[in-house]
């Protein structure tokens, strides 16, 4: 009952215009930060340790900007989940791919393409990527070759709700084969090694607690443990590896920009791939600090 109630409520609110959602995001941000205090201390601790050169008032402003961004992520995801027509999503122009030609070139030249990204921009909207090309250049991305790796939630209800929400615009979101749980990724890549795929992995610096090994990299004044499975698989199967930045350029608009980390990952040490990835991510976070998800304990071991 709870699942159907939540899904129905999200579908109902999702039918509202985006302008209404952004108006609502203002009081949601205020509620989260000033009333509920949702992970407020954690956000300030993360910001202080990552930007020791900044004054307290500047950090507080970044925190305030972040909570507005966070609230807008929520309302954008709700609107996205009610989008059963890819054309509606295309017209909204919420996300735009800056350089689709890079993905096409790498896809044509190499066995597969591994895309590594983090919690910047609005990653919950990534399932609509086929609608985000506004150039005259056709893209090779299709529902049968596009894969998104996720980590299963402890709540079955929310895991199912978010799965349907993330791929709402797809023609066959129930039968979409490219939604891969992280623990099954190695087996999936091996069984599809003879097929060209776009693998998209949200790569953050905290590995799973049970990980038998990890790589350490420098990131935002920390020596952090990394999740390196994506780079390791890319090296094993000679994939091209790219870094994706989802930069928020204005309200309701994100620019997706891809940067090549290596063309054949087997020719580059995994440690070097990961450090290059975090160097690019740090640069993007410093340029737009409120665009990153600061609510998680990423820097405590």
pLDDT in tens, 139-173: 999 889 999 999 888 888 888 888 888 888 886 76
Residue 15 has pLDDT above 90, yes or no: no
pTM of the model: 0.93
Task: Specify the 3-state DSSP secondary structure of 169.
Answer: coil
Q: Confidence band (pLDDT; 50, 70, 90) for 71?
A: very high
State the Cα–Cα distance between residues 252 and 25, nearest whole angstrom: 12
Q: Confidence band (pLDDT; 50, 70, 90) for 210?
A: low
Residue 213 has pLDDT above 70, yes or no: no
Element (H, E) at 301: none
Q: Confidence band (pLDDT; 50, 70, 90) for 221?
A: very high
Q: What is the mean pLDDT of the chain?
A: 91
Residue 209 has pLDDT above 60, yes or no: no
Tell me what pLDDT residue 168 has.
83
């Amino acid at each position: 009952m709870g699942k159907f109630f939540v899904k129905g409520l999200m579908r109902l609110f999702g039918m509202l215009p985006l302008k209404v959602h952004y108006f609502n995001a203002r009081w949601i941000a205020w509620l989260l930060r000033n009333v509920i205090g949702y992970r407020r201390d954690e956000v300030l601790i993360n910001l202080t340790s990552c930007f020791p050169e900044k004054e307290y008032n500047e950090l507080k402003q970044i925190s305030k900007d972040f909570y507005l961004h966070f609230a807008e992520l929520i309302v954008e995801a709700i609107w996205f989940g009610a989008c059963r027509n890819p054309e509606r999503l295309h017209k909204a122009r919420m996300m735009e791919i800056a350089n689709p030609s890079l993905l096409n070139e790498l896809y044509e030249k190499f066995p597969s393409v591994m895309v590594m990204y983090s919690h910047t921009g609005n990653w919950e909207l990534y399932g609509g990527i086929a609608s985000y090309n506004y150039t005259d250049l056709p893209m090779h991305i299709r529902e049968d070759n596009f894969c998104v790796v996720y980590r299963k939630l402890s709540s079955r209800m929310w895991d199912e709700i978010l799965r349907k929400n993330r791929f709402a615009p797809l023609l066959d979101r129930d039968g979409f084969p490219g939604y891969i749980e992280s623990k099954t990724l190695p087996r999936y890549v091996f069984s599809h090694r003879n097929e060209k795929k776009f693998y998209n992995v949200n790569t953050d610096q905290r590995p799973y607690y049970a990980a038998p090994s990890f790589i350490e990299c420098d990131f935002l004044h920390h020596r952090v443990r990394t999740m390196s499975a994506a780079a390791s698989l890319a090296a094993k199967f000679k994939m091209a590896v790219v870094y994706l930045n989802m930069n928020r350029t204005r309200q309701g608009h994100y620019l997706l920009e891809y940067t090549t980390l290596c063309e054949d990952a087997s020719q580059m040490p995994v440690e070097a791939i990961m450090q290059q990835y975090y160097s690019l991510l740090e640069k993007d976070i410093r340029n737009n600090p409120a665009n990153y998800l600061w609510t998680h304990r990423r820097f405590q071991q």
